[in-house]
Structure 1
Amino acid sequence: MGKPAKDQPDAGLKSLNHYSSRLPLWRYWPRQKLLPLIRYETPYLAWVQEKVRTPTLDSYFAFTANLGTHTFFMVFLPFLFWCGHTSLGRGLVHILAAGVFFSGFIKDLLCLPRPLSPPLQRITHSGSAALEYGFPSTHSTNAVSVAVYAILLLNSADSTVSPQTSLILQIITYLYVTSIVLGRLYCGMHGMLDVVVGCVLGALIGLAQFSLGPAFDNYILTANMKEILVIPIVILVLVRIHPEPADDCPCFDDSVAFAGVTLGVDVGSWYFTGSSLAWDYPLPGTIPFDYESIGIAKTTLRLVVGVLCVFAWREITKPTLLRILPPIFRSLEKLGLLLPRRFFTTASRYTTVPSNLKDNEVFPNFSDIPSIITTIRHPRRRAISVGPQSEADAYETLAYREKRRRESQSGGSRESPADVDFKPNGTPVLNRKTSKLDHYEHMMGRGSPNSAAVEDDNIPRSSPLPPPEVSTSRTDEKEVFSQIKKPRVRYDVEVVTKLVVYAGIPWIVINGAPPVFELLGLGVPS
């Protein structure tokens, strides 16, 4: 397949028919019904953002957004398993996996953009955080599902936590979920529609895990070989039916990663129940831990050793699979046994996969640790982005420009700096000055990408970009798409690689690390 010339945008970059040509009617119709709501709320969100923004809140919400990511939970969830809370850890994995998968499923299904920037300014620790679609908010889904599950556990009859401690934990939970959800609005990353639907989805997932989790645990821990095989079959089917997005969106990558995590934690828990190391209390398959007999020093060392085991698995397995899978995929492709996905290059079109692939990894690379520590030490470090950041942003920018152009030609849009009425003889009469909301609406669909790291108290209060003439010419498309960050080449072997690597992480956590603890004298004394 030939590549387009460098001075021309890719084929199909027509803002008006892009989604209608790539989405079936049953997906395109609800998208078009919801899109006006996102456009309607954008100037109001920009107005609120300008009114409440301060340097302190910028740093606070940009930093706390990290606490709602699945990367944060993936880093710390293994600690629950190694500290004897295997059932709680498994429950949180199910919650997060369901939240990431189903929110990503809906994102790729409807392909709805984030609220436009400008007028919104996107505040984040990562300048490329807006590469996914906006609806619904995965941050909100994760935060609310964890919060609902935690509060239900704290208020359940089986809770062993004292009333005072329970109250403190519930207050922390409410503060946590409020910070995450409001932060998505404050940072300009999502609109009300995104976070409301994300919250509803999260609440349903948290409630489902609390109600059905014990029965599902019992199924996993008492299953025979045939019964446990149902889990990988269901997970593979879910991965296969994940919708194809209209743009190069990384939602599928996260869904595959957490599908692998779910596969690994469930099958790994089932396998560990037959291990001589497993405890039967409080549930079968519990990883042995007793703080009183181990102490703080050995507990800390356990966590360090366990994390090193996980990183070792990741650093060895990923490059190995990326090296040995392409020839296998080429053979399968010749036999017609592969089902290629859009935006993934098939094995017949490349010879090797680069070893230094940069991606939106759910679990960080070992080399990413210094930057993570830097972010924690310098919470004021953040990026403020104005303008399109992804293909979805660019298409929405162009589509909104065309909408404004058509309204202007038909007389249905207020393009002047004031409302204009007309006398019977046709003489125009100035009615009132433009409101702030009119100003923000006038900024929608304008400008080019512009990002800058901010580490001081200077906050740009409005877009510095000039208001060009509204049009959707080929030149405009070329200009918009030439300045957004192009997604890197993605290879078909990455799907299987990600599934295997992330399925192996919980397997190492549950079945690999405990024997290492015993070998190093970090286990519970017999």
Structure 2
Amino acid sequence: MESGSIPLWQPLCLFNLLGFVVAASLLGLTRMIRSTVQPWVIRRVESNTPLILQIQKLHHKYLDSFFSVLCRLVSVPFYTGFLPLLFWSGHSRLGRQMTLLMAFCDYVGNSIKDAVSAPRPSCPPVRRVTATEDEEDNAMEYGLPSSHALNTVCLSGYLLHYVLKTYGHEMDGFSVLIGFSLVFSLVFLVSIGRIYLGMHSFIDVVAGITMGILVLAFWLMVHGKIDNFITSGQNVTSFWAGLSFLLLFAYPTPEVPTPSFEYHTSFIGVAFGAVSGIQQTYMMFHTEDVPRIFSPELSLLVFSGRILAGIPTILVAKFCSKALAKWLLPVICNTLGIPIKSSCYITALKESDYSKNKSDNKQIGYLQRTISSLPHKTYDVDTGIRFLQYAGLAWSAVDLVPYIFTLLKF
């Protein structure tokens, strides 16, 4: 499936994205958007405070637990663990689309958050419930839009679309109505839950739902073409690697660093790992002819065996990918003369120490001279490490683990 020829649209797409990155940096596009939108959003967040306090008057420990669990079930960590199960259950097309849609939603939502840099509701007077470490990290992000609302609209809406398209001929009108009712109920409960927990204001949730509808509508128009490209296109892995690299630089810089960029980097890595793995093994493991769960070829017992074998494997692959990246990336950057630092993964890596070592290197090659001519900036190597470890996790879920299933006769 991978071919040596490169379709013209691929370099054009990458060059246009590169041009946007350069132009946005030179024009200060993020600052322009922030100065225009942020004051308006802040006023709306402040004006929504009485509504939040009114909803929080319903305070009860059971409601705290219910909304905390519900929001955890539609969070990025949940989808990271849930998506491999779609591939292993025989619903590879759904798994591909949900993975890429999740990455797209995460990028759009977090980019807007950090571009606008609008605060969450003030606490106090608002009571903020952060029952888990993930929620504490989420609370460090900016508010608009609500990622939970955006992701819930897109992913539950696409799941309903998939069910209707795949099994719609077997469903009556009442079943279809139940499907739509479940999606609307989930979106409503998640949105109210984010307000009740003090994580978002009304304007954040409305923005999340609105953007979710727009993203879902766009995805339903292009998902078929994207899937055809991944499964049978030319130069897929190389193009996706270039796209992923440029998207890291296209991400806006927030007023204050938040975990949003880390989440985005992780899921960009997941998307790249899944695409590269599927492109190589599509005909073996990911066609529409593979056995699906509850069929005679893939019983619930066999599927349980797949989970028991698959989950430890992808966790080991993630660990190994991270260890390899922690060793390899600093060596590559040192060889190329790229100034780097590490926020958390490599405690021994100091920017000052690196700069000293770099100045002591007397022989500078052509590639090093080329890189040294670029704008001086110290890059966080943790971004590359995070990208590679999640790419390794996703690749193992769609490539390595299915090989293991065949060996175990799963």
TM range (shorter): 0.7 to 0.9
Q: Give the alignment partner of residue 264 of structure 1, picking from 267, 270, 273.
A: 273
The answer on whether the counterparts of 1:260 and 1:499 sit within 8 Å (CA) in structure 2 is yes
Q: Normalised by the size of structure 1, how large is the TM-score?
A: 0.62
Q: Quickly say closer, same or farther: Cα 1:99–1:241, change in 2 above 3 A.
A: same
Find the counterpart in structure 2 of residue 485 from structure 1. none
Flag the 1:250–1:138 CA change in 2: closer, same or farther, 3 A. Answer: same
- Compare the two structures and name the one with the higher helix fraction: 2
Distance in 1 between residues matched to 2:340 and 2:34, nearest whole Å = 21
The answer to whether the Cα contact below 8 Å between 1:43 and 1:119 also exists between their aligned partners in 2 is: no
CA contact under 8 A between 2:86 and 2:92: conserved in structure 1?
yes
Where does residue 125 of structure 2 map in the other structure?
Answer: 119
Correspondence for 2:300: 296
Counterpart of 1:321, as a letter, is A
- The answer for the alignment partner of 1:31 in structure 2 is 38
**Secondary structure class of the residue paired with 2:251:** coil
Equivalent of 1:110 in 100, 105, 116: 116
More strand by share: 1
Q: CA RMSD in A?
A: 3.1
Q: What is residue 389 of structure 1 aligned with on the other side?
A: none
Q: Which residue number corresponds to residue 388 of structure 1?
A: none
Pairs within 5 Å for 1:337-416: 337=338, 347-349=349-351
Contact 1:244 1:341 in 2 (8 A): no
Aligned residues: 355
> Is 1:202 aligned to 2:212, yes or no?
yes
TM-score, normalisation: structure 2? 0.78
SS at match of 2:48: helix
Q: Distance in 1 between matches of 2:144 and 2:187?
A: 18
Note closer, same or farther for the CA distance 1:290–1:73 as it changes in structure 2 (3 Å cut).
Answer: same
CA distance in 2, matches of 1:302, 1:258: 23
Task: Give runs of aligned pairs for residues 113-512 of structure 1, distance below 5 A.
Answer: 113-126=119-132, 128=136, 129-156=138-165, 159-163=168-172, 165-225=175-235, 227-274=236-283, 277-278=284-285, 280-282=287-289, 291-332=295-336, 335=337, 337=338, 347-349=349-351, 492-512=380-400
5+ long unaligned stretches in structure 1: 1-20, 353-489
The residue identity in structure 2 corresponding to 1:40 is S
Amino acid at match of 2:220: F
User: Residues 342 and 382 of structure 2 are in contact (CA less than 8 Å); yes or no, is this contact kept in structure 1?
Assistant: no
Q: Which amino acid aligns with 1:298?
A: V
With over 3 angstroms needed to count, the CA separation of the structure-2 counterparts of 1:351 and 1:158, relative to structure 1, is: farther
Q: CA 1:192–1:521 in 2, change beyond 3 Å: closer, same or farther?
A: same
Name structure 2 gaps, 5 residues minimum: 1-27, 355-377
Counterpart residue identity of residue 349, structure 1: E
- Contact 1:257 1:499 survives alignment (8 Å): yes
Measure, in 1, the Cα distance between the counterparts of 2:398 and 2:62. 41
Give 3-state SS (helix, strand or coil) of 1:292's partner. coil
Residue-by-residue CA offset, 1:223-249 (whole Å, 9 max, x unaligned): 123x55322222221111101112120
| Rg comparison, structure with higher value | 1
Contact 1:154 1:161 in 2 (8 A): no
Q: Shift in Å at residue 175 of structure 1?
A: 2.5
Aligned 8 A contact 2:87 2:398 in 1: yes
Separation in 2, partners of 1:144, 1:150:
10
Pairwise CA distance, 1:160: 4.7
Look up the equivalent residue of 1:31 and give its one-letter code. Q
| 2:110/2:261 contact within 8 Å kept | yes
Query: Is the 1:149–1:207 Cα contact (8 Å) retained in structure 2?
Result: no
Partner secondary structure for residue 188 of structure 1: coil
Give the deviation of 1:287 after TM superposition.
7.6
What is the deviation of 1:328? 3.3
Distance 1:257 1:185 in 2: 26
1:123 aligned counterpart, secondary structure:
coil
Shift of 1:518: 1.2
Distance 1:302 1:342, change over 3 A: closer
CA distance in 2, matches of 1:287, 1:350: 56
**CA contact 2:344–2:382 (8 Å) conserved in 1:** no
Contact 2:92 2:287 in 1 (8 A): no
CA distance 1:110–1:124, change in 2 (3 Å): same
- Give distance in 2, aligned partners of 1:264 and 1:71: 17
Structure 1 residue 82, shift from structure 2 partner = 0.6
Amino acid at match of 2:86: L
